[in-house]
Amino acid sequence: MTDYNPPVNYSMPFQCGLYPPPPYIYKNMRAILVIFQCSSEIKRQFIPPEFEPVDGFDILFITEYPESSIGPYNESLILLYCNYKGNPGAYVANIYVDSEEALTAGREIWGYPKKLCEISLSPIIDNKVKGTLKRKGVKFLEVEIELLNRPPGMNPRDMVAGLPLYNLKLIPDVADNSKPALRQCTETVLSWEVHNAIGAHTLYINTEYSKYDICHKIFEDAFKNMGATYVECDQTLPNGRKLD
């Protein structure tokens, strides 16, 4: 974890903020990027009206961060491809993390819809990698890929890094329950320095219904056998921007 002086008057608590300002640097991360496709009708249920769903591929992203500006943690994202005023990107439907710094910074700075979750990403065993998410006693998502020992069919930087990641940042009003105090559409663009990328195919994506999460609904009728990538890289997460 990068040393930093606890910020004052940047994030709560006022006198000793929980997280530093961006950019955040992630060294030696590894991840699986699993391609799937859900229908525009399903996407519309989980994408705000400012964004237009796009038919094509979507991404399940599970990663292990051994070293970052806010400490080690694991993370999983569901990215639904869409347009904003004609500009292609991916709406971040859900993010799961296992760190309070990652949870709080992601929500408060960028508007990432983060929840705490038990996340595991296995080492490579017999050319296979498995990711598992468990929350509130339910193992609601499990995925396994098999490495093919060949380059991926798509450049992983085009799948996540370099792609606008869209979010809806909501802050409730302290006194008025009828509307948020703040409602912003935001955009963030990651950058990656890829050290290793291997093509893979998806052995399975299994989901279990949970009343607390939306993963089962997204994957229930999705096309799931669309390929995958295993990647090792360094990542930079910069400041985002508010969309017009």
Residue with tokens 């960028």, as numbered in its chain: 110
Q: Print the domain residue range for 95.
A: 24-242
Domain for residue 64, yes or no? yes
Q: Is residue 1 part of a domain?
A: no
CA–CA separation, 46 and 66 (whole Å): 31
The reply to whether 227 falls in a domain is yes
Task: Tell me whether residue 102 is in a domain.
Answer: yes
Q: Answer whether residue 41 is part of any domain.
A: yes
- Which CATH number do you get for residue 30? 2.40.400.10
pLDDT digits (tens, 9 = 90+) for 80-103: 999 999 999 999 999 999 999 999
- Residue 157 sits at φ, ψ, to 5 deg, of -65, -30
- pLDDT per residue, tens digit, the chain (244 aa), is 555 566 778 888 888 888 999 999 999 999 999 999 998 889 999 999 999 999 888 999 999 999 999 999 999 999 999 999 999 999 999 999 999 999 999 999 999 999 999 999 999 999 999 999 999 999 999 999 999 988 777 776 677 888 899 999 999 999 999 999 999 999 999 999 999 999 999 999 999 999 999 999 999 999 998 999 999 999 999 999 999 8
User: Would residue 19 count as lying in a domain?
Assistant: no
Residues 172/107, Cβ–Cβ less than 8 Å: no
Domain assignment present for residue 8? The answer is no
In a domain, 17, yes or no: no
**Three-state helix/strand/coil letters over the chain:** CCCCCCCCCCCCCCCCCCCCCCCEEEEEEEEEEEEEECCHHHHHHHCCCCCEECCCCEEEEEEEECEECCCCEEEEEEEEEEEECCEEEEEEEEEEECCHHHHHHHHHHHCCCEEECEEEECCCECCEEEEEEEECCEEEEEEEEEECCCCCCCCHHHHCCCCCEEEEEEEECCCCCCCEEEEEEEEECCEEEEEEEEEEEEEEEEECCCCCCCHHHHHCCCECCCCEEEEEEEEEECCCEECC
Tally of structural domains, the chain: 1
Q: What's the pLDDT tens digit per position in 32-69?
A: 999 999 988 899 999 999 999 998 889 999 999 999 99
Task: Give this prediction's pTM.
Answer: 0.92
